Amino acid sequence: MDRFDSLQLFARIVELGNFSRAAAALNLPRATATHAIKALEERLGARLLERTTRHVHPTADGQAFYARCVRLLAELEDAEAALRPASAQPRGILRVDMHGTHAARIVLPRMAEFHARYPDIEVVVSSGDRLVDLVREGVDCVLRAGTPRDSSLVARRLALMPQVVCASPGYLAAHGQPRHPQDLAQHHMVRFFASNGAQDYPIMLQVDGRMQTFSLPAWMAVNDAENYVVCGLHGAGLIQLPRFHVADALRAGTLVEVLAAWPSPALPLSVLYPRHRQRSPRVRVLIDWLSRLYAAEFGPLPSGRA
């Protein structure tokens, strides 16, 4: 087995967590896969995989090597794609990271449509609110809310998501319903902070034509969007987030909108990707598809905001 095939096999083992499934995916005998990985580890002088009876996990060296393998394999696939006819379908593995809410409520329910259009692309979706190092972890692109701060990445705006301030009926019964932003001084909020702990997110409202920030006391802090909603549902304080995330709870009355006369700022959503992935056909068709998907969900972007 040549070096390219060894790298491809190693990457599949890490992704599938199993020698047999990886070998089957590449139409290789299990014994051949085992021998190839052993030879790869001997050549590198490092143990890449930890094996148990049920699972295979990369070592620290293996995880670092995996990220490099992913980049090398992607670059090779992109080089080959550049020489294919323009009519050829994009192919290969596409790694995407997004918040679980967007995955579950917007993207994954429609992913079969993307597969029907691009059957040769294998999509790998990871979810979470933590920051992702795209280059080190071998991720092709991420969906993130807020204003992108990493200037090393290319950002394409997908949507402006309307937001709402709300709380549970129990919380409002105990603390009163704010009738004006000035009343927020008598309330507290659920604190949402960035995964790296470097930034908090206060409540923001448009008052007298300008955006004002309200940093309220909080006895509960989370860094996960789903947990943020759970805290709001159970009376931990006021929360502010995209309306689509709590639309069902608002209809059911388990959350109640407050201060609707003072607009919340729309929250931008962008797809970010490393500059070296700009020419990737897989990334390009996914971003175009996501742009149409989010335009249908939230409306087209204002002119000049894409």
Q: Which residue has the higher pLDDT, 80 or 239?
A: 239
**Both 135 and 11 in a single domain?**
no
**Both 152 and 276 in a single domain?**
yes
Quote the percentage of the chain above a pLDDT of 70. 89
**Both 259 and 120 in a single domain?**
no
- Give the domain CATH number at 25: 1.10.10.10
**Both 230 and 173 in a single domain?**
yes
**Both 231 and 247 in a single domain?**
yes
E strand or H helix at 79, and its extent? helix 60-83
**Both 120 and 167 in a single domain?**
no
Cα(219)–Cα(282) distance, integer angstroms: 44
The pLDDT of residue 305 is 56
Cα(11)–Cα(27) distance, integer angstroms: 15
The pLDDT of residue 15 is 79
The residue out of 35, 63, 86 marking a domain boundary is 86
**Both 183 and 250 in a single domain?**
yes
Model confidence over 220-238: pLDDT tens digits?
999 888 999 999 999 999 9
pLDDT band, very low/low/confident/very high, at 173 (cuts 50, 70, 90):
very high
Q: Are 239 and 231 in contact (CB under 8 A)?
A: yes
Q: Is 273 helix (H, G, I), strand (E, B) or coil?
A: strand
pLDDT band, very low/low/confident/very high, at 200 (cuts 50, 70, 90):
confident
pLDDT at 306 over 60: no
Tally the residues of the chain: 306
With CA atoms as reference, report the closest residue to 119 among 143, 156, 90.
90
What is the average pLDDT value for the chain, to the nearest integer? 87
Number of domains in the chain: 3
Domain containing 230 equals 163-265
With CA atoms as reference, report the closest residue to 211 among 166, 263, 267, 259.
263
DSSP result, 8-45:
HHHHHHHHHT-HHHHHHHTT--HHHHHHHHHHHHHHHT
Cα(35)–Cα(37) distance, integer angstroms: 6
**Both 188 and 122 in a single domain?**
no
When computed from its CA atoms, the radius of gyration of the chain, rounded to whole angstroms, is 23
What's the one-letter identity of residue 212? Q
Average the pLDDT over each of 133-137, 183-187, 258-262 and give the range with the smallest value. 133-137
> Cα(first)–Cα(last) distance of the chain, in Å?
46
The dihedral built from the CA positions of residue 12, 13, 17 and 22, taken in this order, carries a sign that is positive
Model confidence over 240-284: pLDDT tens digits?
999 999 999 999 999 999 999 999 999 999 999 887 666 678 899
**For residues 93-98, average pLDDT:** 89
pLDDT at 83 over 70: no
pLDDT band, very low/low/confident/very high, at 90 (cuts 50, 70, 90):
confident
Cα(48)–Cα(58) distance, integer angstroms: 6
- Give the domain CATH number at 196: 3.40.190.10
- Give the number of other CB atoms < 10 A from CB of residue 93: 18
**Both 5 and 71 in a single domain?**
yes
**Both 106 and 69 in a single domain?**
no
pLDDT band, very low/low/confident/very high, at 1 (cuts 50, 70, 90):
confident
**Both 273 and 133 in a single domain?**
yes
**Both 152 and 82 in a single domain?**
no
Q: Is 221 helix (H, G, I), strand (E, B) or coil?
A: strand
Q: Rounded to two decimals, what is the model's pTM?
A: 0.72
pLDDT at 144 over 60: yes
The residue out of 86, 114, 129 marking a domain boundary is 86
The residue out of 52, 86, 120 marking a domain boundary is 86
Residues near 8 by beta carbon (within 8 Å), at least 6 away in sequence: 26, 69, 73
**For residues 47-57, average pLDDT:** 83
Q: Which residue has the higher pLDDT, 111 or 3?
A: 111
Model confidence over 9-31: pLDDT tens digits?
998 888 788 888 888 878 889 89
Q: Is 109 helix (H, G, I), strand (E, B) or coil?
A: helix
